[in-house]
Amino acid sequence: MSTGVELFPAGPEHQSALANLLELYIHDFSELVPIDVGEDGRYGYRSLPLYWTDKSRLPFLARLDGKLVGFALVTRISEPSSDGEAWDMAEFFVLRRYRHSGIGTELARKVWLSRPGRWEIRVMEKNVSACRFWESSITKFTGLSAPSSKFMADDVTWYRFSLDSRR
């Protein structure tokens, strides 16, 4: 299903827009984890500048009909489930207004196709809607069920989904 979402690399000139979208993303997470705003009233995302200086990090923005609708932050990692490297969907966000319309699934597909190879997607177990989204999106992309493995990190239970976007 094509929704017409456009994925494009976010350049340094987009850092402010991406920082603003990250505020909304982190606000959504405040229902799941204890995150407070700073004295400036913002959550902040300290590692955002690294997406323009660290070659293993890639920032993407998404537009629909010329309007920003979301983003994906991607990193290159040593793959936990094997001895190679993989792409990691570090952060992924679609504005609430555009959820449940196929935009998120198309955005994920475009991100995966932009960097062919092995992918890891980590989701907190208690983020039930995100778990359903990733399971569904991976299944639609690969045509196969989307198995996941559970792991613990910092006393939080996570699911790890894996896929290969070359297939």
Spatial CA neighbour of 21 closest among 73, 66, 64, 75: 73
CA distance 113 to 46: 28
d(CA 24, CA 153): 24
pLDDT at 152: 93
By the 10 Å C-beta count (0-12 exposed, 13-18 middle, 19+ buried), 12 is classed as: exposed
Phi, psi for 63 (deg, rounded to 5): -125, 150
Residue 78 pLDDT: 79
The tens place of each residue's pLDDT in the chain, 167 residues long, gives 556 899 999 999 999 999 999 999 999 988 988 899 999 999 999 999 999 999 999 999 999 999 999 999 999 987 655 567 899 999 999 999 999 999 999 999 999 999 999 999 999 999 999 999 999 999 999 999 888 999 998 888 999 999 999 97
Give the contacts of 36 (CB within 8 A, at least 6 positions apart).
none
For residue 167, what pLDDT is reported? 74
Distances (CA, A) of 152 to 128, 146, 157, 159: 16, 20, 5, 9
Domains of the chain, with CATH numbers? 6-117 (3.40.630.30)
How confident is the model at residue 79, as a pLDDT?
A: 60
Instruction: Using DSSP bridges, classify how beta strands 57-64 and 67-78 pair: parallel, antiparallel or unpaired.
Output: antiparallel
Query: What pLDDT, on the 0 to 100 scale, is given for residue 147?
Result: 84
- What is the model's pTM? 0.92
Beta-carbon contacts of residue 84 (< 8 Å; ≥ 6 apart):
78, 118
